[in-house]
Structure 1
Amino acid sequence: MTKRQLMCLTCIAVVVVSGLGAAAPSSAAAMHTVHPGESIQEAVDAAEPGDTIVVSPGTYRESVLVTKADLTLRGWGSATVIKPAAATTPAANSCAASGNGICVMGTAAKTVDGVTIRGLTLTGFKKNAVWASDTDRLSVRNVIAEKNGVWGIAQQRSTRAVFKGNIVRDNGDAGIFIANTVDAEGGATDTGGAVIAGNQLTGNRIGVTVRRVRNLTVRGNHISGNCAGVFVVGDESKPAAGAMTLRANMIVANNKSCPATPRLPAIQGSGIVLTGSESTEIRANYVADNVGASPLSGGIVLFQSFVGAQNTANVIKNNQLEGNKPADLANRGSGTGNTFVGNVCQASEPAGMC
């Protein structure tokens, strides 16, 4: 190759590299660090999509509203504690006004996507520790949500969420709650494959409630010491709740006693309860020592919804059940197409399913 040819190739390379640089300018995502005495909300307000807000160890008394996509809010686990602001402090945002700890809020026209909440402890809020509405791909991991008035971690009108590795305890209602919507009637909505996995849920009214939703997985959770372990709740609306998988969960001794509410009778000793569900697979769970005298008590219980919707075409297979009373397996409705196969258990209603 001649000297002139080499010079031409060098020129072309310079042009190409320069062109690539000009075509793809980028700015690195920023990291914002919050220290005790500073405002988490101010850091969130200053952040741009893609940024990370690191909350240093300490106690913060505020509620945080997130309305921007692709933000990460990260703390140091039990060392980073968020509590409600003092009662005399005016509500700083709609999240505080509604009694929640962290709110991730989109709208029906524009969801808030890709938000991550990780390694924070939220305690003592009047309503929920984490509340999300109109989101996509929300990730809540390694969060401690305890002693909140209603739900620990909850969402509505949202898709593709991941709730993983959280400790959710002693909340007034469900530890983790996913619903189509909490303020209107309507058929079950597709969550796009939401995942509730590897969480520890204790001391709540119900460990996990999934209400009027479809297409999600509840797997590998340890659920004990609640009034009930898992509720799959549907009604007469269409599409029906269901088309989900509950597998490889350990659901043991959910024998706390909870009084009746306008939606449910008194509950105690319920492992997994399906009401008005279709095409749900309950597989390879260990369900033991859930004992009570409620109509919903027992290991795995199929019960018509409280508006009369039946369970249909659900599959309960390869579960290990023991010590649940009044029965390990109970089919207390008149739904059709429900299959019980390969389960190891001691007592069933009606007899013969073990």
Structure 2
Amino acid sequence: MLRSTHSFLLVAFFLMGLNSPIQAKMLHVPQDYGTIQIAINAAAIGDTIIVSAGTYNERIKLKPGITVRSEGDDTKDTMGMKRAEATIINGQGNNGQHPGVIMAEGSTLDGFTITGIGNFDEQVWKKHFDSQGEELSDEQGAVNAEGTIPAISIQGVGCIVSNNIVHHNGDVGIAVIGIEGRLNHALVTSNRSYRNMGGGIGIADFSQAIISGNTCHQNLRAGIGCRNASPIVIGNSCFKNVRAGIGCREGAGPIIRGNECYSNRRAGIGIRMANTAPLVENNICYENDMAGIGNRDGAEPIIRNNQCFSNKMAGIGCDGSKPLIVGNECRANSLAGIGLRGGATATIKENVCLENKLVAIGVTHGSQATISGNRLIRTGGVPPIIAVKDGSDATIENNDINGGGVAAILVQGKARISRNRFNGTGDKQGNAIWVWESSSVIISENNFDGFRAAVNASEAIITVTGNSITRFQRIAIAVKDSVKPAHIYGNRATTADRQAKVIELDGPAGIVESNELTYE
């Protein structure tokens, strides 16, 4: 429904701005005109060129307001529509310095295979695939980079590119480039772009294109790449690309919604560079070789309501970025459900992190996080559920924390931990909160059930107040060699063990009072 609405509006917009002919004509290739370009040259605004099945060794430049369409109905075949598979525009490799197709204002290209625009180099492609694109420069094969020749070029115009198969070309498959200060909507929909020596679809330089329902796979760069532009990227499938499924950089601000990104050599969705601020929502990212969604280098994305699972690194990974992470589900990832490093600053709110192999949430290497309203679960394993390490700083409040290895929360830095619900899983459960030396932690108004101890701290600055503790083992709160006087007051512990104690304090004491022990 959304796609058809966009198509209708764009067609109406294009045609209102053009002079309508008295009567549109149908021009047939090769019956009436020997080549597609000869037919285009003869066409007027509103005309449609119907191209019969066959291979056309040419590169074409459309005129405003015309439609170039392959002959046939919309029957599907292996890679796309049958008529697209059967109607081929072949640029014959390096035979020419022009794009395979140059779009014009109000024009439509529908149902072709576009190939041979430059040379596809299998050996180079495989080298970069094997290295996950580590040796690939930012400009190699990128849209609008110097010397890049796209298979289909949309430059500063509104047009429709639909139902095409774009493959084995020497640069980006479909390039959409805007013009600053000019409205330049284009609709790129239902295309398949694969095995190109650049991105599958690249959007750059102020374009506000709609990129909808495309399939992009096995491209040298991202399946869909966005730089310094604000497109709507919706309902696409991107897989097995050398870089990200969808990449976003250089101040881009797209909406990335409802896409499926899987088995890419890097992230499912990758976001980087300062002033890059996309809205990333309702996507599914799984089985990628890096993060499901990765953001770094000062990017400021909103990441909400996505599913990230079975990725080889984090579900959502943040390195030196400033994301808002809300309402996502991260499960069964090989590292963290949500991971921060490199001085990242994040708000992590109302997410669900299930059975991730390391931590549910990791805050490391001088990062800062506000972690609230999340549901965090892991039933086995040694690592903690939340780790705040390497001098990082976290506010952790109103979360449901279930299970954990050596601890539910490990702190090597600063943390304020309040109003959380901690649920242990059995007699072998570790500490609820384990505070390492040189850390500073305030622990207040939490509920702890089923842990060896609620708090175990050594050589730290510690305040523990107003907590409720049940089903602990012998010592509810253990503090050893605190750096400053420890404040432990107003805590309540319940146990059946007559030898149990609320507090074991070895070191300087501050306010230590009103702690209650009740026997079951």
Please say whether Structure 1 and Structure 2 have the same fold, judged by a TM-score greater than 0.5: yes
Q: Report the secondary structure of 2:172's partner residue.
A: coil
Of 106, 114, 118 in structure 1, the residue corresponding to residue 162 of structure 2 is 118
1:231 to 2:291 alignment: no
**By how many angstroms is 1:247 displaced?**
0.9
**By how many angstroms is 1:201 displaced?**
0.9
Of 281, 290, 312 in structure 2, the residue corresponding to residue 247 of structure 1 is 281
Q: Deviations over 1:234-282 (max 9, x none)?
A: 14xxxx111x21111111111xxxxxxxxxxxxx332111123554211
Of 259, 264, 276 in structure 2, the residue corresponding to residue 221 of structure 1 is 259
Name which one, 1 or 2, has greater alpha-carbon Rg: 2
Q: Report the secondary structure of 2:241's partner residue.
A: coil
Unaligned ranges ≥5, structure 2: 1-18, 75-79, 101-116, 119-147, 355-359, 364-385, 388-395, 402-520
Pick 1 or 2: higher relative contact order, CA cutoff 8 A, min separation 6: 1
**By how many angstroms is 1:319 displaced?**
0.7
**By how many angstroms is 1:115 displaced?**
1.0
Residues 175 and 204 in structure 1, CA contact (< 8 A), matched pair in contact too: yes
Residues 227 and 252 in structure 2, CA contact (< 8 A), matched pair in contact too: no
Provide the rounded CA distance (Å) in 2 between the counterparts of 1:53 and 1:150.
Answer: 30
Q: Report the secondary structure of 2:333's partner residue.
A: coil
TM-score normalised to structure 2 length: 0.49
Residues 298 and 327 in structure 1, CA contact (< 8 A), matched pair in contact too: yes
Q: Report the secondary structure of 1:174's partner residue.
A: coil
- Return closer, same or farther for 1:117/1:55 CA change in 2, 3 Å cut-off: farther
Residues 185 and 208 in structure 2, CA contact (< 8 A), matched pair in contact too: yes
Q: Report the secondary structure of 1:91's partner residue.
A: coil
Residues 317 and 340 in structure 2, CA contact (< 8 A), matched pair in contact too: yes
**Amino acid paired to 1:317:** V
Residue correspondences, number: 281
**By how many angstroms is 1:196 displaced?**
0.7
**By how many angstroms is 1:210 displaced?**
1.3
Q: Which structure shows the higher strand fraction?
A: 2
Residue range with higher mean Cα deviation, 320-329 or 25-34? 25-34
Quote the residue 2:233 is aligned against: 196
Quote the residue 2:325 is aligned against: 316
Q: Report the secondary structure of 1:215's partner residue.
A: coil
Unaligned ranges ≥5, structure 1: 1-23, 106-110, 181-188, 255-267, 292-296, 305-310
Of 164, 168, 171 in structure 2, the residue corresponding to residue 127 of structure 1 is 171
**Amino acid paired to 2:213:** G
Provide the rounded CA distance (Å) in 2 between the counterparts of 1:51 and 1:215.
Answer: 36
**Amino acid paired to 1:344:** V
Provide the rounded CA distance (Å) in 2 between the counterparts of 1:152 and 1:344.
Answer: 32
1:339 to 2:361 alignment: no
Residues 232 and 273 in structure 1, CA contact (< 8 A), matched pair in contact too: yes
**Amino acid paired to 2:296:** T
Q: Deviations over 1:18-76 (max 9, x none)?
A: xxxxxx9854555545459954444444445555555444444444445x555555456
Residues 20 and 46 in structure 2, CA contact (< 8 A), matched pair in contact too: no
Please tell me the root mean square deviation across aligned C-alpha atoms, in Å.
2.9
Provide the rounded CA distance (Å) in 2 between the counterparts of 1:47 and 1:132.
Answer: 24
- Return closer, same or farther for 1:43/1:25 CA change in 2, 3 Å cut-off: closer
1:325 to 2:334 alignment: yes
Quote the residue 2:444 is aligned against: none
Query: Identity, % of aligned pairs?
Result: 25
Q: Report the secondary structure of 1:331's partner residue.
A: strand
**Amino acid paired to 1:177:** G
**Amino acid paired to 1:283:** R
- Return closer, same or farther for 1:30/1:103 CA change in 2, 3 Å cut-off: farther
Provide the rounded CA distance (Å) in 2 between the counterparts of 1:234 and 1:78.
Answer: 38
**By how many angstroms is 1:157 displaced?**
1.4
TM-score normalised to structure 1 length: 0.70
Residues 226 and 252 in structure 2, CA contact (< 8 A), matched pair in contact too: no
- Return closer, same or farther for 1:195/1:303 CA change in 2, 3 Å cut-off: same
Provide the rounded CA distance (Å) in 2 between the counterparts of 1:35 and 1:204.
Answer: 37
Provide the rounded CA distance (Å) in 1 between the counterparts of 2:347 and 2:27.
Answer: 53
Of 152, 155, 165 in structure 1, the residue corresponding to residue 203 of structure 2 is 155
